[in-house]
């Protein structure tokens, strides 16, 4: 039938067009891949991410504007990556290296979204004003424990207190020091300065956390006197403009070390955890776990609870146990 023959011819033509198109796409992909083959893959560190655009720092400290291959996951600030210059002054990130850890925050759909990777220190800032909330401090410490990152407490604004008041304030934090979280008294405006903290930051990749008003922004400014210059270099390298400072950014400290600053994550709250996760988040509970009479003890009203018994005997701090129970009731799924 003429009609049918015609339609077969049409189909044939369409097939041929599609084949040519596929071939062209393949050629183009091959040529891109070939051009990448000619350049050595290089190590890099993601300094800031803005959507699909990354600022990647090479081993020599130079910054490169990179885009990522679609299939390699989502590199974030602090990630180590493999990248290749792509000829037009930008680069292509071709692989995401293993992540030691990542600090995440739930996005609006409730899914955990990594914000910063490969941290080595979480610095929790407290101050006489606003008065410290042990409940919030313990949440930051739980976050640190769960991602396996060391934590310390920064006792800020010490210039506001006389010697006796300062001793009293630090005494209120002594139970943290006792379970292995160092406490660093500092001031950005007077004595005792920042020495105790900068010693701890040397060689680390740190992030500051703490409730609003405790002095985090002031501290970031004091620790990064050249922050504006670093931001300028970043926006020049990426062409992304200065609005990138709202994204998590990995700054270089004047001495050896890095500070990841993320205004959006500075005062995050924990969300849904399992009881086991919460228990793991309280390092002072760990020697007691498994010692309660009931295997599924929730450390509340149950008889024979090792946690409550330890608290009654002063072996662990009752404020910590109270916060644990409070978090259990508000967070545990
Ligand atoms: N006296 C004193 N005030 C400070 C110090 N650090 C910050 N502040 C003040 O505390 C207030 C809140 O500081 P800010 O850095 O904005 O806190 P953030 O909300 O944690 O970022 C501001 O008025 C600062 O000037 C300090 O070391 N000593
Ligand atoms: Mg601030
Ligand atoms: Zn118990």
Q: Are 324 and 285 in contact (CB under 8 A)?
A: yes
The verdict on 241 and 322 lying in the same domain is no
The verdict on 252 and 126 lying in the same domain is yes
Note the pLDDT of residue 35: 63
The verdict on 124 and 163 lying in the same domain is yes
**Ramachandran bin of 98, using left for φ above 0, alpha for ψ from -120 to 50, beta for the remaining angles:** beta
Is there a domain that residue 7 lies in?
Answer: no
Q: Are 319 and 175 in contact (CB under 8 A)?
A: yes
Question: For position 323, which CATH number holds?
Answer: 1.10.40.50
Q: Which domain range does residue 92 map to?
A: 42-96
The 8-class DSSP code of residue 119 comes to: -
Question: Domain total for the chain?
Answer: 3
Those residues whose beta carbon sits under 5 angstroms from the ion ligand 2 are 217
Query: How many whole angstroms from 224 Cα to the centroid of ligand 2?
Result: 14
- The answer, yes or no, to whether any atom of ligand 1 lies below 6 A from the CB of 236, is no
Question: For position 78, which CATH number holds?
Answer: 2.40.50.140
Query: How many whole angstroms from 271 Cα to the centroid of ligand 2?
Result: 22
Strands annotated E in 186-293: 205-209, 249-252, 258-261
Query: Tens digit of pLDDT per residue, the chain (333 long)?
Result: 455 566 888 888 888 888 888 787 777 666 666 666 677 899 999 999 988 889 999 999 999 999 998 889 899 999 999 999 987 778 999 999 999 999 998 777 778 889 999 999 999 999 999 999 999 999 999 999 999 999 999 999 999 999 999 999 999 999 999 999 999 999 999 999 999 999 999 999 999 999 999 999 999 999 999 999 999 998 888 777 665 567 899 999 999 999 999 887 888 788 888 999 999 999 999 999 999 999 999 999 999 999 999 999 999 999 999 999 999 999 876
Is there a domain that residue 256 lies in?
Answer: yes
The verdict on 196 and 315 lying in the same domain is no
Q: Quote the radius of gyration of the chain (alpha carbons, Å).
A: 26
The verdict on 146 and 254 lying in the same domain is yes
Query: Nearest C-alpha to atom 26 of ligand 1 is from which residue?
Result: 157
Question: For position 135, which CATH number holds?
Answer: 3.40.50.300
- The answer, yes or no, to whether any atom of ligand 1 lies below 6 A from the CB of 189, is yes
- pLDDT digit string, tens, across residues 224-269: 999 999 999 988 887 776 655 678 999 999 999 999 998 878 887 8
Query: Nearest C-alpha to atom 24 of ligand 1 is from which residue?
Result: 215
- The answer, yes or no, to whether any atom of ligand 1 lies below 6 A from the CB of 220, is no
pTM: 0.87
3-state secondary structure of 292: coil
Rounded CA separation 133/43 (Å): 41
Is there a domain that residue 301 lies in?
Answer: yes
């Amino acid at each position: 039938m003429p009609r049918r023959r015609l339609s077969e011819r049409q189909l044939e033509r369409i097939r041929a067009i599609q084949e040519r198109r596929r071939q062209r796409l393949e050629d183009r992909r091959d040529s891109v891949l070939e051009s990448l083959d000619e350049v050595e893959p290089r190590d890099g560190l993601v300094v800031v991410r803005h959507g699909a655009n990354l600022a990647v720092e090479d081993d020599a400290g130079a910054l490169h504007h990179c885009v990522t291959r679609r299939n390699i996951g989502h590199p974030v600030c602090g990630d180590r990556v493999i990248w290749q210059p792509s000829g037009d002054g930008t680069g292509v990130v071709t692989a995401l290296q293993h992540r030691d850890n990542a600090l995440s925050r739930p996005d609006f759909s409730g899914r955990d979204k990594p914000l910063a990777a490969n941290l080595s220190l979480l610095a929790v800032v407290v101050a006489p004003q606003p008065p410290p909330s042990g409940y919030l401090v313990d949440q930051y410490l739980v976050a640190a424990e769960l991602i396996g990152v060391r934590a310390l407490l920064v006792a800020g604004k010490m210039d506001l207190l006389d010697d006796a008041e300062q001793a009293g304030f630090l005494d209120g934090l002594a139970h943290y020091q006792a379970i292995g979280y160092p406490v660093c008294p500092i001031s950005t405006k007077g004595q005792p300065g920042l020495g105790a903290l900068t010693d701890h930051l040397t060689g680390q990749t740190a992030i500051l956390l703490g409730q609003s008003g405790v002095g985090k922004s002031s501290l970031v400014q004091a620790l990064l006197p050249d922050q504006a210059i670093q931001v300028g270099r970043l926006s020049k390298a990426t062409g992304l403009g200065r609005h990138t400072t709202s994204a998590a950014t990995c700054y270089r400290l004047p001495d050896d070390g890095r500070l990841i600053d993320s205004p959006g994550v500075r005062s995050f709250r924990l969300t849904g955890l399992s009881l086991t996760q919460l228990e793991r988040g309280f390092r002072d509970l760990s020697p007691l776990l498994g010692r309660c009479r009931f295997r599924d003890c929730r450390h509340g009203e149950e008889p024979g609870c090792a946690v409550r018994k330890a608290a009654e005997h002063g072996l662990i701090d009752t404020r910590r146990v109270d916060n644990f129970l409070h978090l259990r009731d508000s967070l545990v799924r």
